[in-house]
Every structure is written in C-alpha cells, then in structure tokens.
Structure 1
Amino acid sequence: MSQAISVRALAAESLAGIALSGHSLREVADRALPRLADPRDRALLTALLHEGARWWPRFDAALDRLLAKPIRRNEPAVHALLVTALVQLEVLQMPGYAAVAATVEAVRELRRPRLAGMANAVLRRWLREREALLAELDATPATRHAHPAWLASALAHDWPGRADEIMAAANHEPPLMLRVNRRRTDRDALATTLREAGQDIQPHDWLADGLVLPHSTDVTRLPGFAAGHFAVQDGAAQVPADLLDLADGQRVLDACAAPGGKACHALERADVTLLAVESESRRAPRIRQNLDRLGLAAEVVVGDAGDTAAWWDGRPFDRVMIDAPCSATGVIRRRPDVRLHRRAADIPALVAQQRRILAACWDTLATGGTLLYVTCSLLRAENEGVVGAFLGERTDATVVPFTLPVGQAAAIGWQILPGDGDLDGMYYALLRKTG
C-alpha cells in the first residue's frame, strides 16, 4: 500500500470531520499532518483539505447528481473521498486515470471494499458527462462559486451587482503576507535576507510594514522567524495600526484580541501600555506566544470584552480596538471552512454580541480618544448596521472620516472586499469620543 494512497484516505477522513462534523480545518490539519513524514505527502494533504473545504459546496452538490442515493450520512469518509477526487480532477488538474485509480484503492483502504465499484462508476460517469454536469453546477451562483446558498443570497442583497466578483475572489489562493517587526529589524533588511534565502518577496505598495510572498510556505523555516523579525498577517489586518494613530505613552485596549496580531502590531509601532482581552481561554495562550516571540509585553486577560466590570480598573484608554466576533465572511479565501460552518441563523446572535461589546468598551474610552471597530465580515448588518445603531443611541460619538488606497466607503466607515488590493475582506469604523 503506497503512502500516496494513504494520503487520500487520511484526507477523506479529515475532510469528513471538517465538512460533516463541524471540526475546524486548522485543528484537523494539526492532527493529521504529523502522521505523514514525507513533505510531498504533507503538501498533498494540505492541498486536498484546503481545496476540499473550499469547493465542498460545489462538488457535494455534484455527488447528489451522480449518486442514486446519498451516502454522506452513512458513509461520510467515502463521500468526502469522492469530493476530494473531484477536487483532484477539476481543481488540482490531476490526470483522470490516476485520480480515479487512486480513489478506488483508497475506498478499500477505508475498509469499504463493497463501495469500490460504486466509486469507480461515479467518477467515470463524471468524466463522461463532465461538460453537462459543470454547466448545471454553473447555472446557480451558490454552486458556481461553492458558497452556501444563504451566503450567496446575502451577498447579492448587500452588494448588488458585485456578488459574483466577491465570491470568485474568495476562491483564489491569497498571497502570504508578512508584517515586519520594526522593533527588531526593518523592512528592507528583512526583504534582503529573505531574497538571499531564495524567496520571491516584495514590499507592499502602501502598507509600511508589509511584505508579500506569492504563495504559502512554512514560515517557521524562514530566516528571522525564530528571532521574531516578522509575523504572518494579511494586509487588511495591518491597517488598524495606521488608523489608530498610536503614540508613546498611550493606554490601549485590544478587545477580542486573539491571536494577538493587531495587539503586537500596535506595540511594535509605539511605546504604549496595552491590555489584551480575550474571551476564549484556549485562544489566549496564542497571544502570549506571539508576544514572547516578537519580544513584546502586554497584559493579557481572559474575559468577556462586554463585561468590563470583570477586567477594567476604571482608568480610561486613549485608544480602543474592537476586532469583533463576526461571521468571518471576508476571510473565506484564507479560511475556506467558514463556508461550511457558518449559518444564516448565526448572524442575529453575532450582531447582538457586537452591539453589546461596542457599547461596553465605549465606556472605557477617554474623552477625546478614538475607538476602532473592525470585523472581517462582508455583511452590512454586522458592520455599518452595528455602528449606525450605536451612533443612534449616543450623543458623545462622532465618526472620524478616512480613506484607504483600496476598498470603498461604506454608509459608515470603510469596506475592503476580498481581492481588493489582493487583501482579505475587512470593515473599519473609526469613532471619536466627544464628551
């Protein structure tokens, strides 16, 4: 039994856990990858998991057309294996005979030999009827772009005329973006070091600390990682440090702080006293790990950002940043499993939580201070809907206008859509406390 077939069987079991049992791609990959020693096998598994999650809504629907009876409930691993086979054929562009043969063998490895003939027949039918089946899938925006139907509909409502463009952008592999830790090096020096190590790296056009690699790589192996010379952070997430207008001596609150990228960037920019609040105890250690590697210091508290009595000492903050819990619909290209786990029914609860956190954290802000409300959502209800409702209830808040080189003005604030400037989708609203 070859290791390559083992990769496919492992991918099928792992993808079934992501798509059908609600497990996160990151957690599943962290468990599965150490089981493979060969870097090529690890690369194939990574591709199958990411592209399998990304294209699941499309090829899951294709299997409903190819199978006489659904098997996703009774045979989840085999169903996921067939999805990965279609991914190999249509996304990874592997030869048909090889993908079919390897998939049939993987069915046997999954101890389902009685289903081997069915898998062979399904995939050969796909190859015979491919053009007609693809046309049928392409006829509907949800299956054309592999988005859940509720999200395709919501994007069409919120972004009329642009939903196809937004969903298409979410299906392209994003570049790998680094943020230079200016406390330990500068961008030109780091770029030179990485180029000497064979990396095709370029400075970002307008983000002062940004460097761009065209493809993902194991950043832990890059020179300077262990020494804390850089962190991985999409350019859209590097914007807040500019908008906050940080200066030495300020007190800064980073609410909803994990994994700590924006907090670390603030500390790299100025000598501020920063409090990072994170509600999930399992995620808080990642903040501390990032601070330690980058040589930065902050107070990290596990607590509900909306329950300020539990963690605030009463001294006002000059700057408050709320990276609010949200639908994550703006980062689907980077986190493809979001499209499998998020539901329309989640949005009202998220909006209620966002409004509660915004109102509570506003009370910790000093008069004359600014609060930056951020989400990685594309849905207006979570963005200008939340901020607009807040402004309607307060007399001491004004909007601070700004523009960015990419994106577009929202009714309140600014929205970057996926692919704008090759960045993730993100929303920002900057508010000043007037009295």
Structure 2
Amino acid sequence: MYKDLVQAAKILSELISGRKIDTLFNRFLKEENNKNFIKDIVYGGIRDFYLNDYILKKFVKKDINDHLIKYLLMNTIYQINHQSKAEFTVVNEAVKAAKKINNNFYNLVNAVLRNYLREKDKLVTPEEMYIRYSYPQWWVSDLMKEYPNDYEAILAIGNTRAKTVIRINQRQISLNDYIDLLEQANIDYELTLEDKYIQISNVKDITMLPGYERGHFYVQDPAAQLACDFLDIQNGMNILDLCSAPGGKATHILERFDVDLDCYDISKERINLIRSNMKRLQLKSNIIEKIDINKRYDRILIDAPCSGSGVVRRNIDIKLMRKQQDIEKFSNQQLQLLEEGWKILKSGGKLLYVTCSIFKHENENVVMKFLSKNKDAASQDLIIPNGFKYQNTQLIPNQFHDGLFFKIFSKN
C-alpha cells in the first residue's frame, strides 16, 4: 500500500502545480498500482484539502519543506478520517511511504500521525466555512453573498459523490423495457424526480450495464437533460450545438427529434468524443470543423465553457484548480460566444444559453450585458419542472441534480 501512497502524493503535488487530473492518472498509475485506491486517496485529499491543511498545522509548527511529505500527511489524515482500514496500519504504511519519498522525514511523519490519532477527537470544528468545507476563500465569500439561504447546503453537496443517472435512448428501447433489463440483471436502481430519471446505485463501470454497446442509454444528470425541452424544438428544424463535446445534449436532441443538427467544438480532440457517442447511440449529426457564417439556424444551443462550480461534486479537482481571476475570463468568453451565435440565428429563432456554474458573474451578469448590446434579443421565461430546486433559472445543486443555469433568448 505504501507505494500507492507515494503515487497519490505525487499526483496531488502535480495537481497543485496546475496539471490536469486525468493526465496525471494516466502518467502515474502503473499496472502494479491499486488504481481505485489511489484515486480514492487523491479525490479525498482534494475534497478535504483546506481542512486537512488546517489540521496538519495544528501538529506541525514549521512549514514542511518537502511538498510530497506534506501531501502524504494530508492524504493520510483523509484516510484516517474516512477509510475503514485499521489506524495503526495506515500510519505504518505512511511511514514506509515517507522513507521512500525522503528518508529524513519518516520520524516526523510517524510522530505527527500518532499525535493526531491521540488528539483528533478533541479538535474543534473550525468556524471558517472555507476551512470546514474545504473551498477557496473567495469561492465561499461569493456564495455567501449570492445565496445567503443556500450557500452552506451548496458547499456541502459539492463534497458528496454524485450519483450516476442514465438517460434512456428511446429510439432504441423504452424506459419500462430498460427497467426490466436492470431487474433481470439484479442491478439496483431508483427512479427520481417524479420517477422520470433512473439513478443507478454503486455502479463502477457503466460499460457493464445492460445495453451499453447497443446504445440503450447515456449517462447524463437530470439538470443537463432539461436543455432539450427548453429549446422548444420542432421536427425539421436546423439546429446548431455550438460547444457540443462530448455530445450529451446533441444526442438527446437527436433521440427525440428529426432535425438537421450541426455539432461544433473548438477542441479537435473532443470532437472525437461526439463521433464516438453518436456511433454508440446509433445517431447521425453533421460534425462541422468551421462555422458557416452565411448559414442561419432555427435554434442554437450554447453550453458555454465555465467555472464548473455547479458540478464540483463530479469534478472535485475544480476546487483546487479554479482561480478567482478565471471567472472574469470565462464571462468574457461566454459573452463572445453569445454574440457569435446571435449573428447566425434566424429572425424568430431561439438561442439557449447554458452554464454549469452557480456564480452570477458567469450567468445573470453575462445575460444583462448581452441584452444591453442586442436590442433585438428578448429573454423568455422558462418553466422549471417539479422536483428541481431553483432560483429564477439557476438550478441549485442538491442530491438529485447538478447546478446548471439556463436562459433562452428569442430574436425579434
């Protein structure tokens, strides 16, 4: 186990330096490693990063000048608090890992962890919300201002593990028939939000679910599935999905409507994900590499790049990777995308703006700027279905769905 702890510390260290987590897993996870164990340690270390740093400072008075040793200690604190392994085993393996990383620190690691075991039940929960829930301080401050009644629940849900929800491809199979397949395979599931969505319990590999290769389903949160309804689509329309990858919303449109759909994404690598998902779900779209500025569309979907603050439980590394200055950069990019999409929308057409952010600077503020610059644009009301928690058209993340923002514009 100690070799896995070394790898987990290296991954966390590289992540703090700005590397992408998927790239790090591919780089550091070897055949001899327990990959699931390492991922659990890394994700847990990220989830509790600020809290574990706070705890560590209670037991180490001076800065630890070896970052790998520091992250090893923080990860081990996570293990002690959240895993079921015997505490003495966890400490012994951490000491072995310390010897592997830097032999000068193994006595310190041993002393700190044994002191923590003796004193941990006496520690007082920190009053500072950013420490208690382990988020950047600016993040918590913004939420407290924007969601005075919900900020703590939002912080808490971001630290949970998201459930797997699947969308049934009803061009291939009905909802009831797919439920029969789940029951025949003895797979636990639950119908949520007025029994419209299938939530799978304890799934580790979605490719092992019935009908995966035959395109019977697609993994998609209930919040993301609302986009298809909000677009007000009719058969025969020309539609553009401007930020399409990996194709979740595009495939949903094609499952439900007979339309001419263009899919565009700036990332050539991610375009391959669209192709792969279209093929598995047995759907066809026009994957375009360049926007035709002379073409006009009945409907345009812009699922804009954003902070991801509404889906942090699915992308926990956002808590460490995202910086406050990123929010302004995203909002500028989002406004630019709206402007570009608006130029190629037909008169009388509709454009749906979507983010997976809960920060108003990326949502309402962008909408206000866009409307002030485009007098032929009118925002329309959206009816949020029963069961979803929301504020205006901002979904509030909870145990049933993610925190997405929606706004639809009609062109006069």
TM range (shorter): over 0.9
The 5 A counterparts of 1:77-226 are 77-110=68-101, 112-135=102-125, 138-206=126-194, 208=196, 210-226=197-213
Indicate whether 1:22 and 2:18 are aligned: yes
Indicate whether 1:242 and 2:212 are aligned: no
Separation (CA, whole Å) in 2 of partners of 1:97 and 1:218 = 32
Q: Is the 8 A contact 1:174 1:215 kept in 2?
A: no
Q: Is the 8 A contact 2:76 2:90 kept in 1?
A: yes
| Partner AA of 2:45 in structure 1 | G
1:75 deviation in Å? 2.5
Q: Is the 8 A contact 2:193 2:400 kept in 1?
A: no
1:232 deviation in Å? 1.2
Separation (CA, whole Å) in 2 of partners of 1:212 and 1:258 = 23
Partner of 1:6: 3
**What 5-or-longer segments of structure 2 have no aligned partner?**
none
Q: Is the 8 A contact 1:246 1:269 kept in 2?
A: no
| Partner AA of 1:128 in structure 2 | R
Aligned residues between the structures: 410
Q: TM-score, normalised by structure 2?
A: 0.94
Partner of 2:347: 367
Structure 2 vs 1, CA of residues 390 and 212 (structure 1 numbering), >3 Å: closer, same or farther? Answer: same
Which deviations, in whole Å up to 9, do the C-alpha atoms of 1:264-313 show, x marking residues without a partner?
A: 111111111111111122322111111111111222234xxxxxxx5225
Which deviations, in whole Å up to 9, do the C-alpha atoms of 1:314-337 show, x marking residues without a partner?
A: 221111111111111111111100
Indicate whether 1:69 and 2:62 are aligned: yes
Partner of 1:417: 396
Indicate whether 1:432 and 2:388 are aligned: no
Separation (CA, whole Å) in 2 of partners of 1:342 and 1:368 = 38
Separation (CA, whole Å) in 1 of partners of 2:175 and 2:108 = 55
1:379 deviation in Å? 0.5
Q: Is the 8 A contact 2:8 2:41 kept in 1?
A: yes
Structure 2 vs 1, CA of residues 48 and 172 (structure 1 numbering), >3 Å: closer, same or farther? Answer: same
1:50 deviation in Å? 1.7
Separation (CA, whole Å) in 2 of partners of 1:120 and 1:182 = 57
Match of 1:58 among 29, 51, 61: 51
Partner of 1:296: 283
Partner of 1:305: none
1:93 deviation in Å? 4.5
Which deviations, in whole Å up to 9, do the C-alpha atoms of 1:376-397 show, x marking residues without a partner?
A: 1010111111112211222222
Indicate whether 1:402 and 2:382 are aligned: yes
1:418 deviation in Å? 1.5
1:407 deviation in Å? 2.2
| Partner AA of 2:74 in structure 1 | V
Q: TM-score, normalised by structure 1?
A: 0.89
Identity across the alignment (%) = 32
1:25 deviation in Å? 2.5
Partner of 2:251: 264
Q: Is the 8 A contact 1:207 1:239 kept in 2?
A: no
**What 5-or-longer segments of structure 1 have no aligned partner?**
303-309
Q: Is the 8 A contact 1:191 1:203 kept in 2?
A: no
Which deviations, in whole Å up to 9, do the C-alpha atoms of 1:187-238 show, x marking residues without a partner?
A: 2222221222221112333474x31113342111222112211111111111
Structure 2 vs 1, CA of residues 32 and 220 (structure 1 numbering), >3 Å: closer, same or farther? Answer: farther
Q: Is the 8 A contact 1:326 1:382 kept in 2?
A: yes
Partner of 1:307: none
